[in-house]
Amino acid sequence: MAAISIRNVVKRYGRGARANPVIHGVSAEIADGEFIVIVGPSGCGKSTLLRMVAGLEEISEGEIAIGARVVNDIEPPDRDIAMVFQNYALYPHMSVYDNMAYGLKIARVPKAEIDARVQKAARILELGALLERTPRQLSGGQRQRVAMGRAIVRQPQVYLFDEPLSNLDAKLRAQTRLEIRKLHAELGVTSLFVTHDQVEAMTLAQRMIVMNGGRIEQIGTPEAVYGQPASTFVAGFIGAPPMNLVEGAADGGRFVAGGVALALPDGARAPRDGPLLLGLRPEHAAPAADGWALRIETTEMLGAERLLHGRLAGAAFTLRVDATRPPPRPGDTIAITAPPTALHWFDPDTGRRA
């Protein structure tokens, strides 16, 4: 196992005046044995960053170290990493056993050791009964487990996962997430996992790297990123539904938005007077006898809970409530309140936490 150090890494496509930068001076330290999830929308640079760690993309500036070695000029087979791809990349004419063993055979690992490693990986991933099948005889989830098994038998210092669950249906994604968590708990190998799915990121990560436009917006545990988002981008990207954001101005113990003065809850105070964005997660507000006026426009039934969509001081606002409560009707106005600790404040110009 090994730590990963990413130091001021830049990636450009092309040269000179026509060069197109896609990664802008990214730095991150991944501890030995840590499971890190890189999350962000399509085009944010997360897969490009992962491919630079793997050696599949050239680094324009900066350096990447795996363990004590700077690997900028080291070829992918010599970096002691194993990668799991989105499209499985299995050999269709080979059995599950041979797909998992192929890389070891190329590396001239003794036959007995190959068999021991394949059998161990098959046990971990519950593939023992499928070793003689070919990929076309497997479900999508089974194929993904074979791809992970092929990485496990390599016994690398680092595992790299490039959106490996994207081709699975919702039920299989949930099941495979649990298998990946158990796999990391058993093997303890340093892992980088790329996804655009914030649910995957929240459930898998020990720490998350949230990327936007080729830059890192925030690094932290899922709890820290969700509970203390560093920017409006993180607040809007992490969480389903996303955090409500209301633009206005703080004035002492109140917040004025859309011409409406909202009294702040007892004990709450804005970090400064003047223009601010007020953030509040849908589950942190609640109906009350007295409070801010929320005009309901539509509702969504989600089983155990219900989402109420409406307008608060002219801004779009979503409230999450228990589905056992009688829902208001579209056009109704209800009062809501929130604890002072649930309020988040952001600078409207920079989008950063105020």
| Token representation of residue 103 | 């890389």
Class of residue 83 by CB neighbours under 10 A (exposed 0-12, middle 13-18, buried 19+): buried
Within the chain, which residues score under 70 in pLDDT?
Answer: none
- Domains of the chain (ranges plus CATH)? 4-236 (3.40.50.300), 241-346 (2.40.50.140)
Rounded distance between C-alpha atoms, residue 346 and residue 354, angstroms: 5
pLDDT tens digits, 242-261: 999 999 999 988 999 999 99
Query: Which amino acid, 148?
Result: M
Instruction: Please name the residue that has the structure tokens 């929240």.
Output: 202
pLDDT at 252: 85
The pairing of strands 207-212 and 35-39 is parallel
Which pLDDT does position 66 carry in this prediction?
97
pLDDT value of position 180: 87
C-beta of residue 22 within 8 angstroms of C-beta of residue 11: yes
**349 vs 343: CA distance, rounded Å:** 19
Cis? peptide before 340, omega within 30° of 0: no
Whether pTM exceeds 0.85: yes
**Contact between 335 and 291 (Cβ < 8 Å):** yes
Tokens in use for 41? Answer: 């929308």
How far is residue 14's CA from residue 235's CA, in Å, rounded to a whole number?
A: 34
Query: Rounded to a whole number, what is the distance in angstroms from the first to the last CA of the chain?
Result: 39
